[in-house]
Amino acid sequence: MGDAAGLVDALLGEGIYNAIRSGQAAAAAIRDELEHGLAAAAGYARRLAEIQNDVAACYRAAVKFYNNLDVGYAALMSPVIRRAAMKGYAVGLTFSETRK
């Protein structure tokens, strides 16, 4: 979970959100096994995959953003991207949700 599972967001350097999300995923998977007999390991892997997809999207964006400062600066200055990012992160959306 968290840092140990490589869930830091490479774009913003944030790790707390995904550490909590992955902890909640583990707790939900254990609950599902105890209450419904569903395999906890499979449940955790399915939930973790959602977080990993978002981490991968952040990583791809970070590579583009930090590898070429002109591109990164242009993205920051773009009203469309800036507004979407501000609004998305302000209401607690993930990077992938904000991008959609």
Ligand X SMILES: Cc1cc2nc3c(=O)[nH]c(=O)nc-3n(C[C@H](O)[C@H](O)[C@H](O)COP(=O)(O)OP(=O)(O)OC[C@H]3O[C@@H](n4cnc5c(N)ncnc54)[C@H](O)[C@@H]3O)c2cc1C
| Binding stretches for ligand X (CB under 6 A) | 1-4, 8, 14-17, 19
Query: Minimum CB separation from ligand X for residue 9, in Å?
Result: 8
Residue number with CB closer to ligand X (30 or 39): 30
Query: Minimum CB separation from ligand X for residue 15, in Å?
Result: 2
Instruction: Round to whole Å and give the CA distance between 55 and 69.
Output: 21
**Cα 57 to chain centroid, rounded:** 8
Helix orientation angle between 79-90 and 69-77, rounded to the nearest 10 degrees? 70
Instruction: Round to whole Å and give the CA distance between 8 and 19.
Output: 8
Residue number with CB closer to ligand X (39 or 45): 45
Residue number with CB closer to ligand X (15 or 88): 15
